[in-house]
Structure 1
Amino acid sequence: MINRLILVFISLTALSSLAYAQKADDILGTWLTDEGKARIEVYKENGKYNGKIVWLKEPKNEDGSLKRDKENPEKELRDRPIVGLNLIKGFVFDDDQWEDGEIYDPESGKTYSCRIKMKKGKLEVRGYIGAPMFGRTVVWSRYK
C-alpha cells in the first residue's frame, strides 16, 4: 500500500512539473512593460525571438513631434522613431528560459545582455552587464 502511495505521489509530482514547463513559443505575443509605458510585440524570425515597440503611452514629445531614438550611440540611428524600434533581439529558448539575447534601452541608448523567464504567465526580463547577477529585472504582463 505504501509503495502505491509513493508511486502516485511521484506520478503527480512529475505531471505537475510538466504542466508548468515552458514551450519556446509561449513568449510570442504582445507584452506591457512594467511601468505601462510601452507594449512590446515578441515575434520569431529565423529561429530567434525578437521584440519591437508597437505602442507608447506617450509617443510624442511636448512639442508634438514623435519620440525618436535620440540617445543612440550611433549618430545615424538617432532620428528613427521609438515606435517600431526593436527592443529585444536574438533570443533562443533553452531550459525553460530565453537567453543569449540583448535588450536596448532607448532612454539611455545602452544595450545589455538579457535573459527572459516566464513565471505565472508574466515575463521576468533581466538586463545585465557581464553576469546576470549584475543586472536589473523588470516584469512584463501579457497584453490582451
Structure 2
Amino acid sequence: MFRTTMIAAAAALGFLATPAFAADVTGVWQTPTNGGQVEIARCGNSLCGKLVSSNHIRENPTLKDVRNKDESQRVRTLKNLQMLYDFTGGPAKWTGGKVYNPDDGGTYAGTIELIGDNQLKLKGCIVAPLCKTQVWTRLR
C-alpha cells in the first residue's frame, strides 16, 4: 500500500512539473506596444504572423510601411502585413524565424516561446546579446 501511494505521489508531482498548457500558439495576440494585434498561424511547416490591427491602423487603415529599409516595400499597407515568418519547432518553442518591426523597418532573428495558455514571449535579436523581448497576451 505504501509503495502504491509513493508511486501515485511521484506521478502527481511529475504532472505538476509538466507545463499545463495546450501549446497552441495560433490565434490573435496583443502586443505591449501601440495596441498591436498579431495573428499567428501555421504556414506550411512553420509559423507566421501578420499585423491585423494597432492604434495607428485603427486611426488610418491605409497607413503604409514607410520605415521599411527597402524603399520598394514602403508602399505596402501595415494592415495584414506579415511580420513573423519561418519559425519552426514547437510545441512550446519555435526558433529560426524572422521578426519584422514596422516601427524601425528592421528585420531580426527571432524566437517564440509559449509561456502559458495565454502568454507568449517573442524575442528579436540583431545579434546576440543585442535582443529585445516582449510578452504578448492571447486575445483569441
- TM-score class normalised by the smaller sequence: 0.7 to 0.9
CA drift of 1:46 comes to 1.2
Partner of 1:47: 45
Q: 1:140 is matched with which residue? A: 136
Alignment map for 1:69-88 (pairs within 5 Å) = 69-88=65-84
Deviation at 1:143, TM superposition (A): 1.1
Tell me by how many angstroms 1:17 deviates. 3.7
**CA-atom RMSD in angstroms:** 2.3
Which residue number corresponds to residue 107 of structure 1?
103
Q: CA deviation at 1:138?
A: 0.6
- Equivalent-residue separation in structure 2 for 1:19 and 1:76 (angstroms): 44
The question of whether the paired residues in 1 share the 8 Å contact of 2:41 and 2:47 is answered with: yes
TM-score w.r.t. structure 2 length? Answer: 0.85
Deviation at 1:18, TM superposition (A): 4.0
Task: State the alpha-carbon separation in 2 of the partners of residues 65 and 32 from structure 1.
Answer: 18
CA contact (8 A) 2:61 2:79 kept: no
3-state SS of 1:83 partner: coil
* Cα deviation, residue 111, structure 1: 0.6
Q: Specify the alignment match of 1:126 in structure 2.
A: 123
Q: Return the alpha-carbon distance in structure 2 between the equivalents of residues 58 and 142 of structure 1.
A: 20
Identity %: 22
Whether 1:13 aligns to 2:13 is yes
Deviation at 1:49, TM superposition (A): 0.4
Name the CA distance, whole Å, in 1 between partners of 2:133 and 2:40: 18
Gaps (5+ residues) in structure 2?
Answer: none
- Residue 79 of structure 1 and its aligned partner are, at CA, apart by 0.9
Letter in 1 for 2:20: Y
> Which consecutive aligned stretches of 4+ in structure 1 deviate over 3 angstroms post-superposition?
1-6
The 1:37–1:21 alpha-carbon spacing in structure 2 relative to 1, beyond 3 Å, is: closer
Q: Displacement, 1:21?
A: 5.7
Aligned residues: 139
Superposed CA deviations along residues 16-36 of structure 1, whole A, max 9, x for unmatched, are 34452653xx11011111135
Give, in angstroms, the shift of residue 75 of structure 1: 1.2
SS in 2 for 1:58: helix
